[in-house]
Structure 1
Amino acid sequence: MSDGTTAEGHSLGNGRYVLQRLLGQGGMASVHLAYDSVLDRQVAVKTLHTELGREASFKERFRREAQAVARLQHTNIVSVFDSGEDVAADGATTPYIVMEYVEGQSLKDVLDDAIARYGAMPTEQALKITAAVLSALEASHDQGLVHRDIKPGNVMVSSKGTVKVMDFGIARALQSGVTSMTQTGMVVGTPQYLSPEQALGKSVDARSDLYSVGCMLFELLSGQLPFDGDSAFSIAYKHVQEEPSAPSALNRAVTPAVDALVARALRKDPAHRFPTAAAMREEVERVSSGEQAATPLQASTPLVISEGPRSVHAAPSLTNFPQVNADLRTPAPQVQQPYQPAPGPHTPPPYAQTPQPFPQAAQTPQPFPQAAQTPPPFGQPVFPQPYSTPQPFPQQQMNTPRPMPAPQFAPNPAANNNSGCSTALIVVGVIVGVIVLAVVIVMIAATANSNNDTYGAPRTATVLDLGGTSAADGRI
């Protein structure tokens, strides 16, 4: 049991879980199909390697994290039923967890089958699986749990097509920082899907899981990993320093929108990635809807250009990987994001624009109040004017203000034939006005003379020149 494996027929949990067959084995644990004799159901039991169970701090942390994961009730998360530890005859302790058994394949096996048939996974299928993984991460991130080891080997696809993410508790416990395995300078995870901040030994958050999802999506679309190398150190260095190629460079069926989606998820700086799993899931679904509307040949059939080397999923873990002495490099975005909403069609102006018949000059205030409009010349009919246009010259120049406005007679449109009578009436009116004006002047002068007599002033004779030639004739 030193390697974390158990023989068939061995039981755990005081005989409750009977191991039946080995389902898979990784660098940290082995998964067995087991029978729960208490609840009469099939379960999956993961036994951790013995060296992980030698530290009491790790066992306590793992127990608490298993309880936290057990509270995650989500369609796309493998449920955790129980956890404990098995003590061998030689005193070796093997921690184990009991999980939901999913009948199906791991995403690694599904991808291998797609690569054998097409060279890569169809775009619609890859985006659908990625959206389900992001939905599971959205639920775990809401509970404060960061997975830290997203990869195809930790994703299951049931026989009904349901996607299940597993191993939340293991990754969380290994990164808790309470064991000698996670001291300063130590990182845990799979090198091919490691975020740059994980490679540098810095603190991680939900955006680190989104980087791993971007690496997984790149592999599903192209059949190759974004970064690979001969050692864990070289792979981690590439995650920190090098830029990945676009998936369309390996699979011409990948559209620019999908390229931009992957490019944003694989940004070195976490601030330039998607802020949350929910935001990335919404963008994946939006791009996926555009892919489904495309031509089936272009959208579903991978056109793999070249088949490069593919790393084995069971790569050595970065359990004892030293810290990389480097800083995160934030390159300038080089990929235009075509998946952003395109600008809508040009909106016409709210009012129809018609050419002006004449250039309109700037309107300036009139220096004097405009006089009332005068009637048209005599003998001409009056017609309504549809448009009021400025006159080139003022219609009436006002030299001196009139002491009394002369009465105006508006012509009657119905009496156009009596133009002679109208003219005579106007002339008579003018004469009467002059006479009235003269009488007013005489009255003003007489009033002024009477005022002088009242205050005892010498009275002067009033002379009215009526045009006589003799001085005696004109004096009163």
Structure 2
Amino acid sequence: MRTRQATVLVRSDVRVLGGRYELRQRLGTGAMGEVWLGYDRLSRRAVAVKLVHREGPGGRYAAESVQRFVREVQFLQRLRHHGIPEYFDAQSDPGAGELYLVMEHIRGRTLAEITAGGRVLPEREVVSIAARICEVLEHLHAVPVIHRDLKPSNIMRVSRERLVLLDFGVARMFRIDQVRLTTANRVLGTVAYMPPEHVGGQEVTPRSDLYSLSCVLYELLTGIPPFPGDDVTEVMRWHKHREPKPVSLLRPGVAPALEAVIMAGLAKRADDRPTSAREFRERLGPPGRGTATSAPQRTSVRKASGCPVPTTSRPLRVRITQAQALLDGGLLGDAMPRFAELVEELAACGPERVEEAARCRLGYAHCRARYGFHREAFDDLTALKELLQPGRRLDDPLMLDVRFRIGQLQLALDDLYGINEIAEVYEILVAAGRPEDVTMVEEVRLALNRATLG
């Protein structure tokens, strides 16, 4: 009897829309509204229900929010594809009550969830994901609809065979007779994946989606978008005026042809990008077999000593200092590719440049660790430690720095032996008593205390 009463009480507290759709659990919220896990009493199935935020005094709907919502409903009504959530029902008249959109409840994980913590994906997987996204974009662009907000959190993997694009709140038709919705001083879409023409308020086309797709693929391979940063204005400026670092600088060994397709998609001028989602997909080639087109291999001119001829007139010492200054300033997106380039250049120089090469490898590993690639950075530094160990004193500054970073990474990987490593470094530094080590002693002491106190 008590169980029945409790059940009735819970059900009486559930919000019901249209006398039919129960709202059971909030799945997420955004600038425009909320998405709930719902239950359709009529069809007896789980559904996803999207609600629109009310704004201003009296809880009224903003005119632009209503327009965007109505447009999303209209788009989903006409879109039928396994890569798009199925439309079920909607209430789009603000005069009739609460605005809501009922659609298929997609069970899966977004690419943002899959790559959380800076995890990168294997090339084969990235090619497969790209091909499936292109298939959905081919359907959208034929309607014709532009998504305008492709990003990892709007792409959900349901299974190996199915990938779904979410959130058509800022999508639009691209025929010239369609009315554009704009708001003064407001950009619709997500800046990290936004094409230059969208940033500049110019007309968007299907090639604009290909730019955003390329930003997503860039991040899946490297762990960061082409232009990382928290300053929205600066990132927007970079999309328009700065060339992205080659994928291979952040993901050494990536297939040149795959890099070529992504970099072509990141062209500033829309006319320089692949002409369509179909062409983009065809250039990717079958998953697991590389890409269909090849990019020319880079050749390095070398000095007689074996070191590559620098591509800049700046001395090596200056370039290393520049990279380190960027790292010290927290500008990881700029520091990491510089260190990667220096590591590649110095690897060919042999023992004559071992000290500079080691410092650049340390800097590169530090960047990777800051982006969440803890295991990769740990492996890099462990190999560097083994390389440096023979013939070096216990209190060698570079060796101690490497050991300290290894200890920190061990803790990040839940290996408590990292405390031992950090404690030994601290003991050696204190015993050495060198004035030039004061800053490092303080950094190691703080890290050791944090690890000790949990």
- Give the TM-score normalised by structure 2: 0.57
Deviations 1:360-394 (A, max 9, x none): xxxxxxxxxxxxxxxxxxxxxxxxxxxxxxxxxxx
Alpha-carbon contact 2:226-2:244 (below 8 Å) kept:
yes
The whole-number CA distance in structure 2 between the counterparts of 1:170 and 1:95 is 17
Q: Which letter maps to 1:81? A: F
Structure 2 spans left out of the alignment, 5+ residues: 1-10, 293-339, 341-363, 373-454
Trace 1:8-157 onto structure 2 (pairs within 5 A): 10-51=14-55, 54-56=61-63, 58-60=65-67, 62-85=69-92, 94-112=98-116, 115=118, 119-157=119-157
The whole-number CA distance in structure 1 between the counterparts of 2:84 and 2:12 is 27
> In structure 2, do the counterparts of structure 1 residues 58 and 25 end up closer, same or farther at CA, with 3 Å as the change threshold?
closer
Alpha-carbon contact 1:69-1:169 (below 8 Å) kept:
no
The whole-number CA distance in structure 2 between the counterparts of 1:99 and 1:143 is 20
How many angstroms does 1:57 deviate by?
6.2
Deviations 1:141-181 (A, max 9, x none): 100111000001111111455210121244339xx8665xx
* SS at 2:37 equivalent: strand
Alpha-carbon contact 2:24-2:37 (below 8 Å) kept:
yes
The whole-number CA distance in structure 1 between the counterparts of 2:271 and 2:16 is 45
Q: Looking at both structures, which has the greater relative contact order when contacts are Cα pairs under 8 Å and sequence separation is at least 6?
A: 1
Deviations 1:410-465 (A, max 9, x none): xxxxxxxxxxxxxxxxxxxxxxxxxxxxxxxxxxxxxxxxxxxxxxxxxxxxxxxx
Alpha-carbon contact 2:91-2:99 (below 8 Å) kept:
yes
Identical residues among aligned pairs (%): 35
Alpha-carbon contact 1:221-1:251 (below 8 Å) kept:
yes
The whole-number CA distance in structure 1 between the counterparts of 2:150 and 2:66 is 22
Alpha-carbon contact 1:9-1:18 (below 8 Å) kept:
no
Q: Which letter maps to 1:96? A: Y
> In structure 2, do the counterparts of structure 1 residues 244 and 9 end up closer, same or farther at CA, with 3 Å as the change threshold?
farther
Q: Highest Rg: 1 or 2?
A: 1
The whole-number CA distance in structure 1 between the counterparts of 2:266 and 2:163 is 23
How many angstroms does 1:62 deviate by?
3.1
> In structure 2, do the counterparts of structure 1 residues 63 and 97 end up closer, same or farther at CA, with 3 Å as the change threshold?
same
Alpha-carbon contact 1:177-1:183 (below 8 Å) kept:
no
* SS at 2:188 equivalent: coil
* SS at 2:267 equivalent: coil
Structure 1 spans left out of the alignment, 5+ residues: 1-6, 293-302, 312-476
Trace 1:292-371 onto structure 2 (pairs within 5 A): 306-307=367-368
> In structure 2, do the counterparts of structure 1 residues 183 and 18 end up closer, same or farther at CA, with 3 Å as the change threshold?
same
Alpha-carbon contact 2:215-2:226 (below 8 Å) kept:
yes
The whole-number CA distance in structure 1 between the counterparts of 2:12 and 2:217 is 36
* SS at 1:54 equivalent: coil
* SS at 1:207 equivalent: helix
- Structure with more helix by fraction: 2
Q: Which letter maps to 1:137? A: L
How many angstroms does 1:244 deviate by?
0.4
> In structure 2, do the counterparts of structure 1 residues 21 and 253 end up closer, same or farther at CA, with 3 Å as the change threshold?
farther
Deviations 1:108-157 (A, max 9, x none): 111227x4xxx411111111111111111110110011100000111111
> In structure 2, do the counterparts of structure 1 residues 263 and 205 end up closer, same or farther at CA, with 3 Å as the change threshold?
same
